[in-house]
Amino acid sequence: MKTADKVLLHDKAAFRTVEPPCPYVGSCGGCTLQDLEYADQLTLKRQRLLRTLGTLDPSLTLELVPVEDPWRYRNKAELTFSALGPAADSLVLGYHAARSFWRIVDLDDCLLLPEAVSRLIADIRELAQRTGQPAYNPRTHQGFFRYLVIRHSRSRDKLLICLMTTRGERSLIESFADELLRKHPAISSVYWGIATNVADVAMPEELFLIRGETYLEDQVGALTIRLHPLNFLQPNSAQAERMYEQVRRWVSASGQGVAWDVYCGIGLIAFYLSSGFRTIYAIDSEARNLELARVNAQANGITNVQFQLGRAEDVFLNKRFWLGEAQPDVVVVDPPRSGLHPRVISTVLAARPKQLICLSCNAQTLVRDSRLLMNSFPRYRLRDLVAFDLFPHTPHVEVLALFER
């Protein structure tokens, strides 16, 4: 058992357990807190966060914003087909089992997904079995069906499907799509991806729109957003809205300044802040993210966001970028779990924005980066911390930190 798992078990021992409603809790690797009441989950998460973040300032308070409904909240499902089931000709479809690379838990329902998504999963499994094509075997790297991605639009109650295989004839996929559309009229898009890489990553080398609309449309706050199968969006849309609203409340904006949105993804934070700044520079290393960000900027009539393609640490090598008109008043960073690259921190320090807002999914790297920031430039102070429970029944939490000078 990993050290992190042992620590979580130790922390949970202080709480009364309940019977989890999900029949897969013992086998699926997802909901490790489902045997606690939701109020106790929040208490546990806050205690764990304070144990880590309190090392920055023991006097800090920490608000943890709960969800309104801890069930059926996910807007995206990413599932794996596998031939490694109970029978020689097995075709299973579900999530990875706990502490297992090979085993997939065959799901009939997931209580974190909208019911329409769970019904669709069951029908896709049945259709896949009827084709006679085998599921992928990760040991032999043979097989046909590989991954399934489903997006759900909460505001439109529509679905986007991306079926990934190792190869195949388009006619087979078209027949598959037509059968699904007959049974599920809420499906607005069906994509087909070809994924041949031996790495266990649902990222196809080729992607084709088979039926329906190019984008799935949804709403985040006042923004109309268009989604593609592969771009990242926070999986809990309702909590994402509250998180982005908190960023907007913190920001000191006159309408004339400059802001940076670093690791911007499809640009939602930049769009939330766009009315408060003359220009926002949004930086991301993935071309497909910025392509969709431009689509969404146009869809919302936003014209003052300039997009920069590249890793932030490489973009910042060009001092003319951040010493000229792009010198920021506010910087917002949303790094991966590994945290901020040292060059990003040094550039932020050199640019000296009045405010720096960090959105982090990893409290440990947030503490590391915060110490480096404040030790290197003591005028920066941690003014506020707010955590958001985007992932009920799991240990994961998103944290917003506000630094000001």
User: pLDDT tens, 208-256?
Assistant: 999 999 999 999 999 999 999 999 999 999 999 999 999 999 997 777 8
pLDDT value at 6 more than 70: no
* 5, pLDDT greater than 90: no
Residue 133 near residue 166, CB atoms below 8 Å: no
Mean model confidence pLDDT for the chain: 93
Beta-strand (E) ranges in 50-157?
63-65, 76-82, 92-96, 104-106, 145-153
Residue 71 confidence (pLDDT) above 60: yes
Helices (H), 188-250: 237-250
Cβ-Cβ contacts under 8 Å for 35 (sequence gap 6 or more):
12, 17, 18, 19, 20, 25
| pLDDT beyond 80 at 56 | yes
Flag whether pLDDT at 296 surpasses 90.
yes
- Kindly tell me the burial class for residue 20, based on how many C-beta atoms sit within 10 Å of its own C-beta (0-12, 13-18, 19 or more): middle
Report helix, strand or coil for 186. Answer: coil
Question: pTM for the whole thing?
Answer: 0.94
Give the pLDDT of residue 98: 84
Q: Taking 90 as the threshold, does the pLDDT of residue 63 lie above it? A: yes
Split at pLDDT 50, 70, 90, the class of 116 is very high
Tokens of 279: 């220009």
Alpha helices in 302-362 (DSSP H): 312-315, 319-323, 342-351
Amino acid at 394: T
Residues in the chain, overall count: 405
Average pLDDT over residues 149-166: 98
- In 110-184, where do the E strands start and end? 145-153, 158-165
Q: How buried is residue 13: exposed, middle or buried, by Cβ count under 10 Å (0-12/13-18/19+)?
A: exposed
The candidate with the shortest Cα–Cα distance to 347, out of 379, 321, 378, is 321
User: Coil, strand or helix: which one is 227?
Assistant: strand
For residue 99, the Cα-to-chain-centroid distance in whole angstroms is 21
- At 87 the pLDDT is 66
Distance of CA 254 to the CA centre of its chain: 31
Whether 62 contacts 387, CB under 8 Å: yes
Residue 8 or 238, more confident = 238
Q: Please classify residue 172 by burial: count the beta carbons closer than 10 Å to its beta carbon, then call 0-12 exposed, 13-18 middle and 19+ buried.
A: middle
CB 147 within 8 A of CB 195: yes
What was the pLDDT predicted at 10?
A: 81
Q: Are 151 and 227 in contact (CB under 8 A)?
A: yes
Q: Residue 337 phi/psi, 5° resolution?
A: -60, -25
pLDDT of residue 233: 95
pLDDT at 3: 65
Give, in order, the Cα–Cα distances in Å from 287 to each of 71, 189, 253, 386: 33, 22, 29, 31
The CATH T-level fold of domain 76-220 is OB fold (Dihydrolipoamide Acetyltransferase, E2P) (2.40.50)
Would you state the torsion angle of the CA atoms of residues 197, 200, 204, 209, taken in this order, to the nearest 10 degrees?
140
End-to-end CA distance of the chain: 43
Q: In the 8-state DSSP scheme, what is residue 274?
A: G
Say if residue 4's pLDDT is above 80: no
